[in-house]
Amino acid sequence: MKSVKVLIPQQEIENRVKELAREIASQVEGELLVIALLKGAFVFTADLVRHLSLPLQVDFIRAKSYRGAERGELSVVAGPELPVEGKTVLLVDDIFDSGKTLETVAEKLKEMGASKVLTCVLLEKELGRDTDFRPDFVGFKVPDYFVVGYGLDLNETYRQLPYIATVEGEEDGQI
């Protein structure tokens, strides 16, 4: 494994996740269905739901846009298993960069009958986008770096890091 440089320390993430949970709870009445986008959002979602002070259910959804190294059309390949019809849904993702995944999956959940879809991301990259779609809740804004840790990976490695980091030589997004 290459060496990493910490961008957002563990304690800062823990504090912000608690704040996000309070922000979300203040805007939701009744039960919430939390749906995590796999794989990157699983750590963030686990910590977030432990701090949400309202009745909730948790489910997962997996979307894929890559076929090998080629980016293709985004499709939902698994989940959710719980019914979304008539429910307030919180869709949780790890990082908001192009915005296409979060926007597409949020639309899919609305088509499935969710009464309201809120979105929450741990990280939002500071860059121009082709969409006006924006997440409802954002943990941190980060430069346009390739980041790992706290569920985010580089070829399925680094997910276990308790902080957000850049990988030496990968800071500018070049893999």
Q: Specify the pTM.
A: 0.90
Tokens read off for 3 = 């060496």
CA-closest candidate to residue 94, choices 152, 142, 134, 16:
152
Tokens read off for 48 = 């977030």
Domains of the chain: 10-142 (3.40.50.2020)
Contact 59, 91 (CB under 8 A): no
Q: Which residue has the tokens 């915005």?
A: 99
Q: Which residue has the tokens 């704040």?
A: 19
User: If DSSP codes are grouped into helix, strand and coil, which group holds residue 161?
Assistant: coil
Q: Which residue has the tokens 């979602």?
A: 45
Using DSSP bridges, classify how beta strands 147-148 and 137-142 pair: parallel, antiparallel or unpaired.
Answer: unpaired
Active site residues: 97
CA-closest candidate to residue 46, choices 141, 150, 153, 117:
150
Tell me the one-letter amino acid at 22.
R
Per-residue confidence in pLDDT tens, the chain, 175 aa? 688 999 999 999 999 999 999 999 999 999 999 999 999 999 999 999 999 999 999 999 998 765 544 556 677 767 799 999 999 999 999 999 888 889 999 999 999 999 999 999 999 998 877 788 999 999 999 999 899 999 999 989 999 999 999 998 765 554 3
Instruction: State the Cα–Cα distance between residues 34 and 45, nearest whole angstrom.
Output: 8
Tokens read off for 69 = 């190294």
